[in-house]
Amino acid sequence: RAQEPLSSVRRRALLRKASSLPPTTAHILSALLESRVSLPQYPPTALDYKRYLKEHNERQFFLELVKDISNDLDLTSLSYKILIFVCLMVDADRGSLFLVEGTSAGKKTLVSKFFDVHAGTPLLPCGSTEDSNEVQVPWGKGIIGYVAEHGETVNIPDAYKDRRFNDEIDKLTGYKTKSLLCMPIRNSDGEIIGVAQAINKTPGGAPFSDDDEKVMQMYLPFCGIAISNAQLFAASRKEYDRSRALLEVVNDLFEEQTDLEKIVKKIMHRAQTLLQCERCSVLLLEDIESPVVKFTKSFELLSPKCSADTDNSCKDSMEKSSSYSDWLINNSIAELVASTGLPVNITDAYQDPRFDADADQISGFHIRSVLCVPIWNSTHQIIGVAQVLNRLDGKSFDDADQRLFEAFVIFCGLGINNTIMYDQVKKSWAKQSVALDVLSYHATCSKAEVDKFKAANIPLVSELGIDDIHFDDFSLDVDAMITAALRMFMELGMVQKFKIDYETLCRWLLTVRKNYRMVLYHNWRHAFNVCQLMFAMLTTAGFQEILTEIEILALIVGCLCHDLDHRGTNNAFQAKSGSALAQLYGTSATLEHHHFNHAVMILQSEGHNIFANLSSKDYSDLMQLLKQSILATDLTLYFERRTEFFELVSKGGYDWNITNHREIFRSMLMTACDLGAVTKPWEISRQATELVTSEFFEQGDRERSELKLTPSAIFDRNRKHELPRLQLEWIDGICMPLYECLVKLNVKLKPMLDSVAVNRGKWEELHQKRLPSQAASLSSFSSSFAMSLKDI
């Protein structure tokens, strides 16, 4: 055997990696057939010198072996030295060394990076520091497990006569195991920390003698001390690295405190680096004050190592990221941690009742172990949870991992909380900016103005003509519109019914008028015209019999306030320019939320609360209805709800007793009045169209000059010749279907639909006159208009 090439010896050694393992592990040993490359670690003369000492000076030989291991703090090289020296000491042909992992209270295993190594090998196997080369033996299983559990020395003269021996490896390798000597390694406290095994005493596999046992018993205590020192050194290095990583986390948090997504991604990246896990997730609570646990934001990061190692499985899970995010939001373990404030460490997910086994199918990601801890803010409130899944080495998260993660999350909580606070400060700044802008532009009306209208005689409805659906939008001056608005309130009986103070009503109307800016179209006149059409529809079509008085009041007030403080630019412009309004209200119905909040601000100003005499319930209901009415003027909401409205009307399924049906109807009324200029006689309708188009063109000019963007067709004054076609598209796509449906609901509104049809015919005539010159650009126009509608 001594004449065999080293590669052959190494191959046979690798094939024997489980000679003392339980029989159930034999089927995995084919993995041990892999080739290995070896790097020089110890000079050959070192072993030769020790063999010489063994033959000539046993005392010096023993001291040399002890000295060689006493100063080695690298657990890998130390383990290999011990293995080789044990074989040399008892003349064993091969040897193995197993170390205990796990706590006394938890599950213990025996792990070896060096199994069945030939005694004459003077080299440290390449890759021996990688966890993929580890061999694990369950506690109490096989000869090695027995020795570790019972702390007894096992000396077997003939391995084939011991029932614990597994001969399958001998059959695979052709190597015959004869004698075995297996002995526990203890630390200074007498605790078993490892097991050393010698195989086949040379020459010829003779039994190991009592002297061999005594020599090993003398040497292994020194090995125990050396292993303990190396383990302590490794633990201290690990703690040093983790402490340094925590300091790096603190540095990251101070570098980035303005963007929540960026800071959470940094946190997850650090967590993966610290804990070496396959996946990391952070979930933030929607409301930290609410007793109901509900996550509103989820972030997750997949380890690049996982992606590289598991190929298709991890790629599939990345493709299912939306499903995984859904699973995160509804994660029962995360909810448990958020509700109790206690960490959860699941070592085997499928054996834990708290784990939902369906989660793997939902997420497309196989979960083995879970560590989930709460995230606290500076006031010791839970703001979310952090969760890591599956250690990369296949082991479960231990107590050290949990302690580290909890310490790590303390800093993360401070960072996330600071970022959230920064966002709140940013919103407060935006709110202040908007408020200062509003205050600098607007002011309440004077007492003289209030007294003037309070003492004025208010003309009758018939004198003003405000009950006519075809009312001339440009017939009244600014003061006459105030008196007409007062008449509408009186005619609908709202002053009497809700006990509205008349002076307060005058002051409120004048202040509302003053809070409309001098823009071309979305000004006080537009607000009054929308209100007038609502009044005419209510009185003409008899909707007063369907709607409650509270609903009517909300609609009238909503019409007058629906464009308060309009800046002559739309929601899309607010988002593109990143205005203070967009920062304050977001990009969904930005202006409509601002209009409502501005209306509330006026109502809350001293001497302006026209709802002061309402009961608490009526006031609450009215404010909710008012908000719905103003938000309904957002065309995005109109598109979302009109299909349901059209279907209910066409199928005759409208039920005025259903709250949702009433809400949809009120929303459609608000839109019909807001777009009401298209229902007026041609000259009035065309004049309104020119005003709104001019306002759109001014926005387009700002987009081109300030934002360096090319405006869409409806905002581009360079394409004003396309106005007839724009109006045809507008009428056919938005207006006509709405008024047709309203007529189906109430035939008394047919004059409005007839006017829309007449106006469409006029625009069609204008379009036909320009058609020859537009033929070349016709194919691109429809798509441009469709994009324009999204900007309105």
> Residue positions in the annotated binding site for AMP?
522-526, 563, 674, 727
CB 14 within 8 A of CB 32: yes
Q: Which two tokens stand for residue 618?
A: 């009526």
Q: Which residues are annotated as a binding site for Zn(2+)?
A: 526, 562-563, 674
Coil, strand or helix at 411: helix
Contacts of 611 (CB under 8 A, 6+ apart): 498, 500, 603, 619, 622, 623
Q: Cα(313)–Cα(316) distance, rounded to whole angstroms?
A: 5
Helix axes 549-561, 478-491, angle to 10 degrees: 170
Q: How far is CA 419 from the centre of its chain?
A: 15
Q: Phi/psi of residue 723, each to 5°?
A: -55, -45
Residue of 522, 566, 593, 598 with catalytic role: 522
Cβ atoms of 117 and 13 closer than 8 Å? yes
Q: How many CB atoms lie within 10 A of CB 265?
A: 17
Three-class SS of 434-480: HHHHHHHHCCCCCHHHHHHHHHCCCCCHHHHCCCCCCCCCCCCCHHH
Tell me the two tokens of residue 318: 């990345």
* Cβ partners under 8 Å of residue 540, min gap 6: 467, 469, 748, 749
Which three-class secondary structure state does DSSP give residue 397? coil
Judge whether 522 counts as a catalytic residue: yes
Amino acid at 582: A
Q: Are 115 and 17 in contact (CB under 8 A)?
A: yes
Cα separation, 261 vs 555, in Å, equals 41
What number of other Cβ atoms are within 10 A of residue 372's Cβ?
Answer: 26
Q: In what order do the strands lie in the sheet with 180-186?
A: 135-138, 109-118, 92-101, 192-201, 180-186, 154-156
Q: Which parts are annotated binding residues?
A: 522-526, 562-563, 674, 727
Separation between Cα atoms, residue 207 and residue 19, nearest integer Å:
17
Please answer whether residues 731 and 763 qualify as being in contact, where contact means their C-beta atoms are separated by less than 8 angstroms: yes
The two tokens of residue 383 are: 């703001």
Active site residues: 522
